[in-house]
Structures are given as structure tokens and as C-alpha cells.
Amino acid sequence: MKLKLHTHQLQLAHKWKIAGGQGSKMNEVVVVELIDGDGVAGFGEAAPAATYKETPAMVLEFYKRLDVSGFSFDDIPGSMARLETFAPVPSAARCGINTALVDGAAKRAGKAIYDYYNLGFRENQHVTSFTIGLDTPQIIREKVAAAAHYPVLKLKTGDARDRENLAAVRSVAPTKPVRADANEGWKTKEHAMEMLEWLAADGNIQFVEQPLPRTASREDFIWLRERSPLPLYGDESCHTVKDIPFCAECFHGVNVKLVKTGGLSMAHDTLQAARKAGLKTMIGCMIETSVLITAAAHLAELTDHMDVDGNILITNDPYLGATSKNGMLSFTHAPEPIGLRVALR
Ligand SMILES: [Mg+2]
């Protein structure tokens, strides 16, 4: 098997900022292509996140020392075990390889990935939220107006301007369902509780992601969960299946992302384990192309909510895949019939 890399500089429509972040208008990702001896090509994407201290340079350095000659689309677990012998493996780099392996395996089976996993995909069922990043109230008003065709918004919170920012959203979209994401920005359980009560008073907040830092104690998370007037979803606290027992104690749901799980195989297992543990599930994303967003869409049937707008927030997506017109995820116009169902634009 051979490995080909494609780096892409993704241009954001707006400067992207979340709690604790610097904000940026460019994001570099690495799209991975694994090609077997028969010429079958599997695609994946590494979208490293600063939140987890991973960079495009780290991913490229890792891929340079990786030898994929013994990898096979017919043996994903064996290929993943080989990958780990090149440790340390950046999670984003693992995601790129694993997603490419699953794409190739599904293509060899002649199936779309959602059928390869026996999940199927129901059209007109899965709606992605559209994210409003941290910004000035004026820009937030403009973004919310421009997102009028998206039925659900996600508002980044965990900032000194939370109240002004929600008021800006409400001045344009008074009753639209909104999810709030604190991104670890509220530092104490008391402050988080105060913010949750304020958000609940809005009446149209669906749930809140990561109200406390991932380093907060189990006791603090449980204290908050017992009192919260809104459902709480773990995001930075939930990476893989190993985190599900902790999350089942501390949250009502989890936000699973391919970049955190290290690809489709572990995302699939993490979502199944979460449901078994009684947790609500969602899939989120980073700033990504349609390669990784489409990969996430294949797992939609394992979720209660989708938040896969990373490709909508950029202006130069190099790939075509699942679409999200008016927020509705669809494979009707996907450019390929099997595998990941993506192609270069
Ligand atoms: Mg989040």
C-alpha cells in the first residue's frame, strides 16, 4: 500500500474564535490517500486541533516516518495495530489513516460506509447546527442573520461577553433553538451553575457543552449535573470509548469527534458505548473539509444531534461529499456511490 498526502489551507469566512483561543482566519489540514495494489484509493483527513496541542507540522512529520507498506483494507484492526508501532501517533494523524482505511474497506465491499457499518442513512432526518463563534455583538448579529436558513444554531460561550452575545443572537432570531458551548470557559461549578440558570431562562436552549474544564474534578461535574436545569454534554472530557464510564456519571450526553477518537472505527465504538451507557450522543467537528464532515455524516444514525458545519464555515472546501442545504444532511448529491462518497471538487 502507498500513502499520498494533500495539504490544504482552508480559508474561514470569519475569524474563528472559541473560549481560551487566539482566533484565526486560516486552518491547515492534511488529506490522506491510501492506495492499494489494485489501485483502490481510500481517503481520510487529519485536522489537528490546537485545543489538543496538535499542529499540521506534527502530523506531516509523523506521516513522513510512517511506513504503510504492510497496511491493508482487508485488515483494519491489524493495520491500526501496525500504526501504533510508530508511536507517538498524533490523534489527528490516526484519524486520517483510519478514515482512509475504512473508506478503502467499504469501497472493496462495494458499499457506502453507512451500509458497511449496517447503519443505513435516512434522508430528511439529520440536521446539523450552524456555529456562531466568539465575536463582537455586531458581527454576531450579522452572522445570525446570514444563517437564517439554518434551523439550529450553536453559540460559543465561556467568554466575558456571554450575556451580550446571546442578546445579539436573540435580537435577530428571538426563538430559534440554540445549543451553547462553553468550551471549558467557566472555571468554577458555582459560576457554571449561574450561567446555566441564566441560559435556561431563555427557554430555547437545547443543551450546553463542556461547562467546566476537562481537568475539573468528578465531584464538581456530578454536583453540576445534579443541579443543572439544562442537559450537559461532555466534549473536551470525551475522547474515546475509555471516557464513556466517566462521562456517564458526569454528563447527560457526549460530543464525539473523529479528530478526538482517531477516526471512524473508534467513533463508531464510542457512540455505541455511549448509547449503551444511557448517554445522548452527538457528532461534532473541527474546521475540516468535506472529507471528514462526510465521514461523520456516515455515523449519523448513531446520534441524537449533529454538529458538522466545519466545511460550511470555510470558503474554499476542495472536496464534494454529503451536503447540508438548510442544515439537512444528505447523500443524494454525493459524487461517488460507495465508500466515503467524496471527490475532489
Ligand atoms: Mg464543543
DSSP per-residue letters across 210-228? --S-TTS-HHHHHHHHHH-
Residues 298, 25: Cα–Cα separation, whole Å: 28
Lookup: cell for 166? 446571546
Residues of the chain above pLDDT 70, percent = 100
**For position 15, what pLDDT does the model report?**
83
Paired with 44 in beta bridges are: 32
Q: By C-alpha distance, which of 292, 306, 301 is closest to 255?
A: 306
**For position 286, what pLDDT does the model report?**
94
Residue 5 Cα to ligand 1 midpoint, Å, equals 28
> What does DSSP assign to residue 335?
S
Residue 156 Cα to ligand 1 midpoint, Å, equals 8
Paired with 112 in beta bridges are: 339
Residue 211 Cα to ligand 1 midpoint, Å, equals 10
With cell 489537528, the residue in question is: 48
Class of the CATH-defined domain 116-344:
alpha beta
Class of the CATH-defined domain 2-110:
alpha beta
Residue 340 Cα to ligand 1 midpoint, Å, equals 24
User: CB within 8 A of 217, min separation 6: which ones?
Assistant: none
CATH 3.30.390.10 domain span(s) along the chain: 2-110
Per-residue pLDDT tens digits for 6-23: 999 999 988 888 877 777
CATH 3.20.20.120 domain span(s) along the chain: 116-344
**Omega within 30 of 0 (cis) for the link into 88:** yes
With cell 496541542, the residue in question is: 53
Per-residue pLDDT tens digits for 103-138: 999 999 999 999 999 999 999 999 999 999 999 999
Q: Is residue 259's pLDDT more than 80?
A: yes
Q: Distances in Å between the alpha carbon of 176 and those of 95, 129, 154, 196, 270?
A: 34, 11, 10, 18, 30
Residue 51 pLDDT class (50, 70, 90 cuts): confident
Whole-model pTM? 0.97
User: CB within 8 A of 275, min separation 6: which ones?
Assistant: 281, 302
Per-residue pLDDT tens digits for 67-84: 999 999 999 999 999 999
Per-residue pLDDT, averaged over 304-324, amounts to 97
Lookup: cell for 67? 511506513
Residue 4 Cα to ligand 1 midpoint, Å, equals 31
Phi-psi category of residue 14: left, alpha or beta, with phi > 0 → left and psi -120 to 50 → alpha: beta
